[in-house]
Amino acid sequence: MNDQSIRRRLLATTMLGAAMAAALSAAPAVAQTSDAAELQEIIVTGSRIRRVEVDTAAPVLSVDQQSFTDRGVVQVGDLMNQISSNIPNYPIAAGSGSAAGAGQQFPNLFGLGAGRTLTLVNGRRFVASSNGLAGSSVDTNMIPLGLLDRVEVVQGGGAAVYGSDAIAG
């Protein structure tokens, strides 16, 4: 045998011995004995704007399409004038100094003002009237009665769900 083969064998034997010593000297993993951490309960709350099927704490008045016909209602404003919690503002002729223009009807639940009543159509805010005196309120006569299945009036503060525009309902 030559010197080079002896060196190779010696190197291979040394490396094999070192690998075996490392494998045998590794300490086995012992299970941890620390106490498991207690997980706290997390409660997530939220609300959806569309709540037709859900019972609410506030009283809800619902008028269906058959009731429109039975009451002889021609416009949504006429229907709003028949609701007991609404303070009707009857349309006055143009130029009379009234806040509402001719033919305009603004919901005024509990007399808190038209700007405190939020009008939603299909769960979305309806376009406000162009009348600057009425603020951001909706002329309900602009909503086509023939396209409505029902009218629901939440007769209580809805500000927690819908924002400050729904203080009256």
Domain ranges of the chain: 60-166
Of the candidates 162, 128, 152, the one whose C-alpha atom is nearest the C-alpha of residue 142 is 128
The pLDDT, as a whole number, for residue 41 is 86
Model confidence at 118: pLDDT above 80: no
Model confidence at 161: pLDDT above 60: yes
Of the candidates 129, 124, 117, the one whose C-alpha atom is nearest the C-alpha of residue 153 is 117
Task: Render pLDDT for 93-115 as a digit per residue (tens, 0 to 9).
Answer: 554 444 556 677 777 777 777 77
CATH class name, domain 60-166: mainly beta
Question: What average pLDDT does this structure show over 38-62?
Answer: 69
Q: Let me know: does 96 contact 133? Beta carbons within 8 Å.
A: no
Cα 124 to chain centroid distance, Å, stands at: 11
Q: Which residues contact 150 (CB under 8 A, 6 or more apart)?
A: 62, 63, 64, 65
Model confidence at 6: pLDDT above 80: yes
pTM: 0.53
At 89, the amino acid letter reads N
Question: What band does 13 get if pLDDT is binned at 50, 70 and 90?
Answer: very high
Strands 150-154 and 120-121: unpaired
The pLDDT, as a whole number, for residue 79 is 80
